[in-house]
Amino acid sequence: MSAPPIHLQNSRPAPELAADESARGNGAGPRQPGPERHDTAVSPAQATTSSARPAITLDPRTYTRALSCVHCGLCLPACPTYTETGNEADSPRGRIQLMRALADGNIQPTASVRKHLDLCLDCRGCETACPSGVVYHELIEETRFRFNEQLNDDPQKRRASWEDNLLRWMFFNVFTNPTRLKLALLPARLLQKIGVYPLLRSMGVMKLLPPQLRKMEQMLPPDGPLWPKALPERVIEAGGSGFAPVLNALAGQIGAKPLDGQAPRQRVKVGFFPGCIGSVMFESVNRMAVEVLAACGAEVVTPAELGCCGAIHHHNGEHHTAQNFARRNIDIFVPPGGPIVDHIATNIAGCGAMLKEYDFLLRDDPAYRDRAREFSRRVRDISEVIVELGIPTMKYTVEETVTYHDACHLAHAQKVTAQPRQILAAIPGLKLVPLPESDMCCGAAGTYNLQQPEMSTSLALRKLNNIAATGATSCATGNVGCAMQIASEADARGRQLRVVHPVELLHFAVFGPPRANNIKLR
Ligand code: SF4
Ligand code: SF4
């Protein structure tokens, strides 16, 4: 759908856009709003052209969101890029001004303007901090979509860098397809299994790769199955002891009453969303999540037809493909006949945030609008479902000091901060210690760490220093991207740190060590 042009004019003067590169943070500075400095790279005066033709045409609803910014600056200390550079153009307030000025035709998308907008993590820390309710992510995501449309429409404007083109091709064609991702990882996994991989690393062979590919290599977890298996389509805890669980399970398969004569429990039906990267890189955590949900008394279904949530496409300006993924997933869990599950749960914050926003993504699609709303209403982070169903009985202790990092797409996009901590605090033996700046982005941000490795690494270092200050031996976080980012950056610096999903610790407390799993599933 192409939005009508907007004729609203920027009624306020743009703030001065600061850019003193010498003021870059060292990755460990305090969260203070930096001084505003004059930006020699991007100033409205330089970027302004005599043409009043808007550089981008924003949907008027999105543009109106930008108008609610009152330039108070309260979001600045919450913005990771601003805290690193001290540059107003790298702050939410500065970026909102840039996007408005682009839409008003006051500036053109010069390389400098693009640089400041591209550096945004879309972490949404500014939204949590903003007292005026600015929904920043809609603005940056639509701006990226409009830029992308222009690139797709005009071959002359195509991205020049082959690394950029290769990365985008991999995001859209490999990362979002579990079978292709497994195939792509197979050689590296084979080298890991025969022990050659660490040797290649120690010989510095990986340093020959371009920075983005080096970062990708760095994030490969040190172990994992050669070919991760798909989750079972249906999982229920059978209950009972001895042969009863097996016989009860068989009885359940043919629709008969359990052998103990008790009527089957009314179970909450949870649709589990494994995610495409999650189902390959996070396969064991997904499996644990399903087992924990079953231990909570839920019936868990994971239809094999589920596809990507669409987040990678959506955040990279491929809006229409994201919408198609949304339609496919809605058809599975909320078909025209009505929803087939009570909740849709995921243990990946990035996927959860996207799934919760299908209603927004398809708000202009009359065929899907209502079902999209119904779908989004049912989406929960796994921690929300566990707390709602009741934390299962725990028989094992976890003697560890753990700190918790809030994934941006859990804390800022979904506003889920209490439940993961509630689960961790309930685990016997576990000492939960607070993490300074726990809700500051670690630099992962979906595919950002591959596209902006320098800023991503600075933010990771900041996170690692904060974790080290807690004295914790483990860091728990509810997002696969954050887990891979923090673990790989710790590893690259030789720091001893275990990075886990809260579900892994809960699973241990409920079931004991891996392979000693005593749950009876059917
Ligand atoms: S989304 Fe994150 S990086 Fe972007 S402006 Fe907001 S706080 Fe800053
Ligand atoms: S806190 Fe909100 S209103 Fe204030 S400058 Fe930031 S985005 Fe604008």
How many A from CA of 96 to the centre of ligand 2?
9
29 and 142 in one domain? yes
User: Does some domain include residue 239?
Assistant: yes
User: Does some domain include residue 228?
Assistant: no
User: Does some domain include residue 1?
Assistant: no
Task: Report pLDDT digits (tens) over 113-131.
Answer: 999 999 999 999 999 999 9
User: Does some domain include residue 229?
Assistant: no
142 and 45 in one domain? yes
Q: Please name the residue whose Cα sits nearest to atom 4 of ligand 2.
A: 72
* Stretch 291-296: mean pLDDT: 96
Task: Report pLDDT digits (tens) over 355-392.
Answer: 999 999 999 999 999 999 999 999 999 999 999 999 99
295 and 243 in one domain? yes
211 and 132 in one domain? no
Instruction: Copy the structure tokens of residue 275.
Output: 């995610």
119 and 18 in one domain? yes
Task: Report pLDDT digits (tens) over 457-484.
Answer: 999 999 999 999 999 999 999 998 999 9
Give the ligand 1 atom nearest the CA of 82: 8
Could you tell me the pTM of the whole model? 0.85
In the listed set 149, 183, 218, which residue is the last one of a domain according to the structure? Answer: 218
206 and 264 in one domain? no
474 and 500 in one domain? yes
CATH (domain of 423): 3.40.50.1860
Distance, in Å, from the CA atom of 120 to the CA atom of 77, rounded to the nearest integer, reads 14
Give every CB contact of residue 50 below 8 A, 6+ residues apart in sequence. none
Q: Which residues span the domain enclosing 179? A: 162-218
Whether residue 418 is predicted with pLDDT greater than 70 in this model: the reply is: yes
448 and 348 in one domain? no
User: Does some domain include residue 349?
Assistant: yes
For a ligand 2 pocket test, name from 72, 79, 88, 90 the mutation site with the most ligand atoms within 8 angstroms of its C-beta: 72
User: Does some domain include residue 223?
Assistant: no
* Residue 225, pLDDT score: 84
Residue 408 near residue 350 (C-beta atoms within 8 A): no
User: Does some domain include residue 264?
Assistant: yes
Instruction: Copy the structure tokens of residue 387.
Output: 């707390």
Residue 407 near residue 354 (C-beta atoms within 8 A): no
For a ligand 1 pocket test, name from 83, 124, 315, 412 the mutation site with the most ligand atoms within 8 angstroms of its C-beta: 124
Mean of the per-residue pLDDT values of the chain = 84
Q: Please name the residue whose Cα sits nearest to atom 3 of ligand 2.
A: 69
In the listed set 113, 135, 157, which residue is the last one of a domain according to the structure? Answer: 157
Ligand 2 pocket residue status of 317, Cβ below 6 Å: no
Residues with CB under 6 A from ligand 1: 78-81, 92, 95, 120-126, 136
Ligand 2 pocket residue status of 70, Cβ below 6 Å: yes
The total number of structural domains in the chain stands at 4
Residue 301 near residue 269 (C-beta atoms within 8 A): yes
Q: Please name the residue whose Cα sits nearest to atom 1 of ligand 2.
A: 130
143 and 171 in one domain? no
451 and 401 in one domain? yes
Whether residue 427 is predicted with pLDDT greater than 80 in this model: the reply is: yes
User: Does some domain include residue 474?
Assistant: yes
363 and 425 in one domain? no
Q: Please name the residue whose Cα sits nearest to atom 6 of ligand 2.
A: 75
Distance, in Å, from the CA atom of 138 to the CA atom of 68, rounded to the nearest integer, reads 13
133 or 8, which is more confident? 133
Distance, in Å, from the CA atom of 174 to the CA atom of 495, rounded to the nearest integer, reads 31
10 and 145 in one domain? yes
How many A from CA of 456 to the centre of ligand 1?
13
Instruction: Copy the structure tokens of residue 396.
Output: 């094992």
163 or 137, which is more confident? 137
In the listed set 135, 157, 179, which residue is the last one of a domain according to the structure? Answer: 157
Instruction: Copy the structure tokens of residue 124.
Output: 């949404």
